[in-house]
Amino acid sequence: MIPIRDNIYCKKKPYVSWGIMAVCMVIFLLMKLMPLETQRQLTYLYGMVPIRYSNPQWAVAFGLPPDKFLSFLTNLFLHGGWVHLVFNMWFIWIFANSIENRMGHIRFLFFYLICGFIATFAQWYFDRQAVIPIVGASGAIAGILGAYFFLYPYARIVIWLPLLFLPIFFELPAISFLGFWVIMQMYKASTPLVFEGITTDVAWWAHLGGFVAGSFLYPLFLKGEEKNKE
């Protein structure tokens, strides 16, 4: 199920959300212009490689300098491919403006970065020996979804069901769509723990960690007048 739009009207322009999207897209395009080896080096340097922090000796042998967990933030602005980038930017476009409107620009920026950091930490905690860089804004976006779940549970989300690419559209309340989304993340994250030999290249624990962080932290970032609307 792919969300197309919601029915929440926002008075203010979401400049921070647009800025985040612009930074992600510019970085992605610039890296695409670089040689493949340079892209790989930058991805390992600024993506979050779990074993880099679990085994510092490995990091030294691999040539990664100490960065004081900087990659827990910088990875949020890197993406592994066109589909990865487009889907993340699309979710920001649909859901972030409503949350930025309730928080204000600066509060929203800090909320986004903190949720992203916690999401990345969750992925590291559950997969500490991974040697593949974790990249993408999806953990921070999950924080936005967590806030949206509680702030706009009955917002109407127009959904496209891409069944053989037919134009199948329908509406769901946000609480149903996001509830289904959470269940799918839990299923995908827990499957490798239950069944041996199953691996994944998606940071499912980051999605869950970001959603939980956003769900608990969003009241702290609401503007004063917005807290009274809950």
CA distances from 229 to 62, 97, 151, 224 (A): 51, 17, 9, 10
Cβ proximity of 119 and 207 under 8 Å: yes
Q: What residue ranges of the chain have pLDDT lower than 50?
A: none
The pLDDT score that the predictor gives to residue 142 is: 96
| Cα 219 → chain centroid | 19
Q: Of 92, 148, 150, 142, which Cα lies nearest the Cα of 120?
A: 142
The pLDDT score that the predictor gives to residue 40 is: 95
Cβ proximity of 213 and 115 under 8 Å: yes
CATH number at residue 124: 1.20.1540.10
The pLDDT score that the predictor gives to residue 186 is: 86
| Cα 130 → chain centroid | 19
3-state helix vs strand vs coil in the chain, percent to 5: 65, 5, 30
The pLDDT score that the predictor gives to residue 224 is: 72
The pLDDT score that the predictor gives to residue 195 is: 57
The pLDDT score that the predictor gives to residue 166 is: 78
CA distances from 201 to 122, 135, 146, 208 (A): 15, 11, 23, 15
CA distances from 52 to 76, 79, 105, 113, 208 (A): 17, 19, 33, 21, 22
Domain around 12: 2-227
Residue 4 in 3-state DSSP? strand
Task: List pLDDT tens digits, range 103-132.
Answer: 999 999 999 999 999 999 999 999 898 999
Q: Of 80, 99, 81, 74, which Cα lies nearest the Cα of 178?
A: 99
Question: DSSP labels for 159-206?
Answer: EE--STT---EEEEEHHHHHHHHHHHHHHHHHHHHHSTT---SS-HHH
The pLDDT score that the predictor gives to residue 190 is: 78
Q: What Rg value do the Cα atoms of the chain yield, rounded?
A: 18
Buried b or exposed e, range 104-141, using 16+ CB within 10 angstroms: beebbbebbbbbbbbbbbbbbebbeebebbbbbbbbbb
Split into its structural domains, the chain has a count of 1
The pLDDT score that the predictor gives to residue 229 is: 64
